[in-house]
Amino acid sequence: MSAAYPSGTAAAEGLACCHVCYKLASADLHECPLCGSSLHVRKPDSIQRTVALLITASLLYIPANILPIMTTTQLGNPLDSTIIGGVVLLIHHESYPIAAVIFIASVMVPLSKLIAISWLCWSVSRRHGASHQQRTRLYRAAELVGKWSMTDVFVVAILVALIHLGGLLRITPGAAAVAFGGVVIVTMLAAESFDPRLIWDELGDEDQDG
């Protein structure tokens, strides 16, 4: 078992790290001797679970962009806006900072995260890609930006609360806000289910080939 892992690592020594209390214990144990949690050398079915979550997030991303993210009622006339439409509307009202935040958080961040994690899964399964350090940095970046992906949902919520200009302009959230919230949650779960240690396990295979 240890020959499949890079030399000098805990896995190569037959040890596993508990995902709850981080105690090192023998990989032959099924439960952590300290907290009783299930003990695994690597996250079980990490790639399969991550790919399944990515597919789910991709499916949710479609209605999140097609359905209206908000409805603007101006002088009694409702106007449905998609994410891009909402950005254009905010630019029309000269709300450039809010428009930029929504565009980056709603379009660029989720799409970039989906592409990044998908590429990491592909590179690990194919044993091919950029250097181990570059892929690790990419994973850390994808994990970091995921924590800020709900920014635009909060912006829409703030707009709903603040923009009541004497009854002349009113903004209400649309169905896409729910779908986009699902995209954010599922992509965060995908990042958590991916085990970045799989990137470095390739070094063990290279040692075996050598």
Separation between Cα atoms, residue 174 and residue 148, nearest integer Å: 21
Encode pLDDT of 88-117 as tens digits: 877 888 888 878 877 887 788 888 889 999
Separation between Cα atoms, residue 57 and residue 87, nearest integer Å: 22
Residue extents of the structural domains in the chain: 1-41, 45-202
Instruction: Give residue 11's pLDDT.
Output: 73
Cα 93 to chain center, whole Å? 31
Instruction: Give residue 154's pLDDT.
Output: 65
| pTM score of the predicted model | 0.75
Say what the alpha-carbon torsion angle 27, 28, 31, 35 is, to the nearest 10 degrees: -50
One DSSP character per residue, 82-104 reads -HHHHHHHHHHTT-HHHHHHHHI
Encode pLDDT of 142-183 as tens digits: 887 766 666 656 666 666 665 555 556 677 777 888 888 888
| Planar angle of CA 115, 113, 90, nearest 5 degrees | 115
82-90: long-range contacts (C-beta < 8 A, 24 or more apart)?
82/176, 83/107, 83/152, 83/176, 83/180, 86/156
CATH class of 45-202: mainly alpha
Tokens of residue 138, six digits = 């990419």
In the chain, % of residues over pLDDT 70: 79
